[in-house]
Structure 1
Amino acid sequence: MRNRSLLILTAVVTTGALTLTACGSRDDDKKSDSGGGKTTVVIGIDAPLTGSLSALGQGIKNSVDLAAKTATKENVVPGVEFKVESFDDQALPASGQTNATKLVGNKDVLGVVGPLNSGVAQSMQGVFERADLTLVSPANTNPALSQGDDWGSGTKKRPFKTYFRTATTDVIQGKFAAQYLFNEAKKKKVFVVDDKQTYGAGLAAIFADEFKRLGGAIAGEDKVTVKTTDFAATADKVKESGADSVFFGGQYPEGGLLSDQVKKAGANIPTMGGDALYDPAFIKASGQSNDGDLATSVGYPIEQLPTAKKFIDGYKAGGYKDPYAAYGGYAYDAAWAIVQAVKSVVEANDGKVPSDARAKVTEAMSKVSFDGVTGKVSFDEFGDTTNKQLTVYTVENGAWKSIKNATFED
């Protein structure tokens, strides 16, 4: 799926954020009535705003809203007011595809931030590609989204030129998790479970391959179903396998329950997962102590970064009800990348938004580069972030605590 990375806000949010410019008036359109005769430019949002993953989705929505308001307040683009239009995908691919069609239908939308889930992104990409509309995910981690279905065999081909992301891929996260569990946590026999979804199954497979390459053993494997609450059968398999750890490819609602039931089955071993486990709700889902459980996440902890201070302060001042959560910093940077691209397009068109702005914004995204909340924001030839910083977290005294920050090197 998903989860995070944060680093250099000072340079951009004090300089980049102050110098970013986006749009003037569209060549062939009248100015929207947004007050003061300003032109309205919309940044779309797609995320799960209701349901079990809504805490993450609301954090994404609010962070994009903050970026839009900041750009307008600081007059980043003279004569332009940035607004947002958000849609709830409920973590369902079909809903995401419907939302994509709606966003494409609004001519003022020049870029979209989202979605949270890789499976939802798969359903949306074709819609945005046909409309030349940029999509920037702050959370997707499945490699196939940007490198094609044959990426695992070494054949990488970008499927959609409109797709970008500010979160690193599971190729990096899965290997990073395996290396930590084997080399530093000293676990040698892991039981691997996944939720059969695009994100979870992909992450688990990459983790397992790397763990075996390092010399570790796979004690067993099993699959569970999303929204299931009874994992007793899987927990018994874990106990009987003699595994010294569990790796779960999936999200926190199921992950927390799995960890709980593994311990209730008598296997007092840690459960590890990816960024989709790194949320307080993972701990709340378990009736047993989660101390010792592990999760990786993209990027460094935002609260530890002085460069993220303006974002954190701005979020608090914004009065948002929900926390920015795991992907807030990435969502802000995704929105700011769109603003950067629009700025480039407008400057090349005498201060106006051209009639083919969407296509030109997509083209400009490949050249975007700035110091953001999550670190250096730029994209490679596949649209993937160039930022490869990751963190390992553990549960300690009922709360997540970072225990390792590193830049991944294969």
Structure 2
Amino acid sequence: MNRRGLIIGAGSLLVLSGASTLGWRASTGLMEDYAGYAAALRKELPAGPTLRDLIGYATLAPNGHNTQPWRFTIEGNAIDILPDPSRATSAVDPDDHHLFVSLGCVAETLRIAAEATGRPGAIEVAGDGGVRFTFTEGTGWSDPLFAAIPKRQSTRAEFDGRPVPAADLEALARAASMPGVGLALVTERPRINQIRDLILVGNGVQMADPAFMVELKHWLRFNPKQAMETGDGLFSAASGNPVLPDLLAGPAFDHFFTVASENDKYARQIDSSAGLAVFIGEREDKAHWIAVGRACQRFALAATSFGLRTSFVNQPVEVAPLRPQLAVLVGASGKRPDLVMRFGYGPTLPFSPRRPVTAVLV
């Protein structure tokens, strides 16, 4: 579930482009238009929302590379969430682990939104990894996790280093409590540094893999126009990076996206974080990966409600040889760590795009 940024100097871009301001804007679109687009995706749900409204809200959930690898069907008082293999990321996620974690994230978001607006229900997971949310009619209620749904984002920026109060850490752990899922909250600087070093090693391994780089580049969206047209992918501005015209994006990416610049960026991001949250499923199967996604989203929403920002740094779980070392560091020897999320106090960046409900509802 990584969003990779670009470290590109604005002066270099101007030299590369030679483009007029009007030509630049025509090829990239305007951030003002994108801000309106993102705000419309996250507008408050109406009273008595339709099932389509709820599905749209659910798709604001985090997911790997923002591929949104899900499809929805409605049948009576049930909504089924199915994997979309056409949006799998085989290089970074060869066993579809992140795909099913993403299904867990979107399922829990749907459940929270439905319950808060008068449709309480339960989530069931089928053997093939399909998820069904079955609901009844009830009374809505105020839920800080529901209020946080449109505000949550994976913030690829440096945080301010402030520690999180112990009471808030305990509340985050309670919010993320999920049967079959363990959570290790790492706030001691020496252990954070050890995990940071694994992240940097993993980043180097991934960037040396041509298949990983091709896949990553496929899902990058370098400007507002491209992000709004596709409704998916890793939008550069959402990672705090420059907007580029399509013609310049590929060459600039190839030239400036280096292991050294990325490792420097990740080191600064982790060093500025208050802590790391590592999620560990009891077993390596689809049901537990979905449970990990549910726990992770509850943690992220609770963090958002406390004014915290989060983002994923999953290299030590994506590069298989690093997993045992990470497991030892978080006291889970013999198990597979599933997700690594950093958290802390930081800025709000532009939000990621999302596809319309018509694109995901079968």
TM-score range normalised by the length of the shorter chain = under 0.3
- Higher share of residues assigned helix: 2
Q: Report the TM-score when normalising by structure 2.
A: 0.27
- Higher share of residues assigned strand: 1
Q: Report the TM-score when normalising by structure 1.
A: 0.25
